Amino acid sequence: SQTIHQWPATLVQPVGSPLSLECTVEGTSNPNLYWYRQAAGRGLQLLFYSVGIGQISSEVPQNLSASRPQDRQFILSSKKLLLSDSGFYLCAWTPGSPGIQYFGAGTRLSVL
Amino acid sequence: RKEVEQDPGPFNVPEGATVAFNCTYSNSASQSFFWYRQDCRKEPKLLMSVYSSGNEDGRFTAQLNRASQYISLLIRDSKLSDSATYLCVVPSGTYKYIFGTGTRLKVLA
């Protein structure tokens, strides 16, 4: 069966520090991968998605970036965090398009 | 008009009640729809998929009204454990998904 791993679960970072969140999927190949952010009490905002290795589509230009170095690995990064980057970051995958999205457990990021 | 719109609630209902939420969408070409459940501080989890007129799974029924461009979620015999936020999701294009902001449900003892 397929599983999605996302870590860390919680992160507290100072303003201006770098960020790296990792997401991996097991039990499938060539998944479509997604990064979302959910601010407190708000809906899910699509940040990036990828349909293949090295292919990244950006939805919201900001100080975040994403990379897909391997088929089942998706990384969200920032060189310098802002206070507004705080939120709940969720990684998701789909086996096809459009299809059911499956979410990782999420990373709760607090930028102080 | 927003691409996907939901009443944020909260809907406060007693145990055993029947409750229904609606979700309106703007893209008339959408073919599939999803309801997700999100517990506080947790990830969304799929509740139901809707590909045609509707779908039923136990106490949960989802219906699609293409003419009026909305989907509904009906929960019968509400349980305390049904308390959560219910997200409506509509695919946009080949790869993207638009999430509604969710409807909060509180089932009261």
Q: What is the pLDDT of residues A21-68, one digit of tens each?
A: 999 999 999 999 999 999 887 889 999 999 999 999 998 868 899 999
- For residue A104, the model assigns a pLDDT of 97
DSSP letter for each residue of A55-89:
EEEESS-SSEEEEEEETTEEEEEESS--GGG-EEE
- Residue A94 CA to residue A67 CA, distance in Å, equals 17
Express each pLDDT in B14-56 by its tens digit: 999 999 999 999 988 888 999 999 999 999 999 999 988 789 9
Q: Do B97 and A105 touch (CB under 8 A)?
A: no
The DSSP code for A52 is E
The Cα-based distances of A15 to A80, A84, A108 in angstroms read: 7, 10, 15
- Residue A92 CA to residue A98 CA, distance in Å, equals 13
Residues 6+ apart with CB under 8 A from A62: none
What are the chain A neighbours of B49 within 8 Å (beta carbons)?
100
Q: Do B42 and A108 touch (CB under 8 A)?
A: no
pLDDT at A3 over 70: yes
How confident is the model over A8-20, as a mean pLDDT?
96
Task: List the single range of A64-73, B8-17, B67-76, B91-100 with lowest mean pLDDT.
Answer: B91-100
How far is C-alpha B60 from the geometric centre of its chain's CA atoms? 10
- For residue A61, the model assigns a pLDDT of 65
- In this structure, the number of other CB atoms found within 10 A of the CB of residue B16 comes to 10
What are the chain B neighbours of A46 within 8 Å (beta carbons)?
96-97
Report yes or no: A92 and A33 within 8 Å, Cβ to Cβ: yes
Task: List the single range of A7-16, A36-45, B67-76 with lowest mean pLDDT.
Answer: A36-45
What are the chain A neighbours of B41 within 8 Å (beta carbons)?
88, 108
Report yes or no: A104 and A22 within 8 Å, Cβ to Cβ: no
- For residue A99, the model assigns a pLDDT of 81
- For residue A39, the model assigns a pLDDT of 87
Q: Confirm or reject contact between B87 and chain A (CB < 8 A).
A: yes
Nearest to A44 by CA among B97, B103, B49: B97
pLDDT at A97 over 80: no
- For residue B8, the model assigns a pLDDT of 92
